[in-house]
Amino acid sequence: MRLQCGKVLQFGIRRRCYNNAMSAYRKARPEKREAVSSNWTQADTSRAIQIWSQYQQQHDVAGLIGQTAGIDPASGRVWFGDSATDIWEQMDAQGIETPLYYVRVGSDYYVRKGGRR
């Protein structure tokens, strides 16, 4: 597991979305059920947003609109996938376990909470 539910919720991902993603991840990887605690700070968030802004200025992301981007504030690496779960699986395949900041390409958030009224 990459992030604790409380940490993910802090960055705008709804509990239901997170639970569905993690449920699929746990079924695929039952040996990885233990939670990895993270010491995510506001500075990590600020650094990830800065990295994402610089990445968009240096690369053409127009063809990736709708994809999920996962930004690692420690290394500066940017991951892309259809969802956060897809990115987790890519990282797991490479043996990397680090928390990421997630954003939807073409948007300033990953999932917006609330519905239309």
pTM (two decimals): 0.64
In a domain, 114, yes or no: no
Strands (E), the chain: 68-71, 78-81, 101-104
List, for residues 38-96, the tens digit of each pLDDT value: 689 999 999 999 999 999 999 999 999 999 999 999 999 999 999 999 999 999 999 99
Q: Count up the domains in the chain and report the number.
A: 1
Q: Which residue segment(s) compose the domain that 75 sits in?
A: 5-104
- Of 71 and 26, which is predicted with more confidence? 71
Query: Sorting pLDDT into bands at 50, 70 and 90, what band is 30?
Result: low
d(C-alpha 62, C-alpha 89), whole Å: 24
Please say whether the beta carbons of 86 and 80 come within 8 A: no
Report the range of poorest mean pLDDT among 1-5, 25-29, 89-93: 1-5
Q: In what order do the strands lie in the sheet with 68-71?
A: 78-81, 68-71, 101-104
C-alpha distances in Å from residue 33, one per residue of 2, 24, 30, 70: 11, 11, 6, 21
What pLDDT score does 10 carry?
A: 44
In a domain, 71, yes or no: yes
d(C-alpha 57, C-alpha 55), whole Å: 5
What pLDDT score does 55 carry?
A: 96
What pLDDT score does 31 carry?
A: 56
In a domain, 34, yes or no: yes
